[in-house]
Amino acid sequence: MSLNPPIRDWHGRRVWLVGASTGIGRALAERLHALGATVIVSARKADALQDFVAQHPDSMALPLDVTDAKAVQAAAQSAQASGPLDLVCYCAGHYHAMRATAINLDDLLRHHEVNTVGALHVLAAITPGMLARGQGHISLVSSVAGFRGLPQSLAYGPTKAALINLAETLYLDLQPLGLGVSVINPGFVETPLTAQNDFHMPALISPEQAAQAIVQGWSRGEFDIHFPKRFTCVMKLLRLLPYRLYFAAVRRITGL
């Protein structure tokens, strides 16, 4: 049974992707445009957005810093000026590996500002319009790093755990009112963010594969869209372990 109204036909749908200059967001914008959606892309990198628009007719670029609440409100108004938004996907993300033995407070807070607070800015800007219409879909890109605590994820993991909890709460509040809500939990995807990792990333996939999995998840009406399954299902099983077994398993698997 689908938890959300399945989205199979993208023709005529207006989609706003926040964090779409590179990686998963860019690949997702390309795929949705190819499927017939009117795509609006936002990120801080204006040049990358304009490059996307130049290659994809009828798309729209809205350069944006998600940590600026007023800028998000203004961008949301521009995004909705030509019609209501059928789907908003928050793809923006900041990531640096960090351990508690070497805390960088400024960077730790930057993770929260971009990954979590930015999502709240977007939600505050677009949810009222969707509620007024009684339709629309909100999707948050989280990560398997948000499932449970992991080494080197002191800054990143808590922000992604917050997004999972946020999506669950949004679903409980908004699904009875006709809105769709989903959370996207990728494993390792080959992006500029993961390029900085100096450790083996099991089941690494391309942004294009990630975009395909996301679109498939939306077409099935899924709430929890996670991939690649050969990796994410193992991570889900680890969530079920009691702490004594979980901590021992993670230390054995990571060597940290």
Structure tokens at 54: 């130049």
Could you confirm whether 90 is annotated as catalytic? no
Buried b (16+ CB within 10 A) or exposed e, 183-194: bbbbbbbbbebe
Task: Determine the Cα–Cα distance for residues 93 and 254; give it in Å rounded to an integer.
Answer: 24
CB atoms within 10 A of CB 29: 25
Task: Determine the Cα–Cα distance for residues 217 and 33; give it in Å rounded to an integer.
Answer: 17
The catalytically annotated residue of 90, 95, 156, 171 is: 156
Task: Determine the Cα–Cα distance for residues 89 and 220; give it in Å rounded to an integer.
Answer: 17
Q: Which of these, 220, 115, 131, 219, lies nearest to 163 by C-alpha position?
A: 115
Catalytic site positions:
156
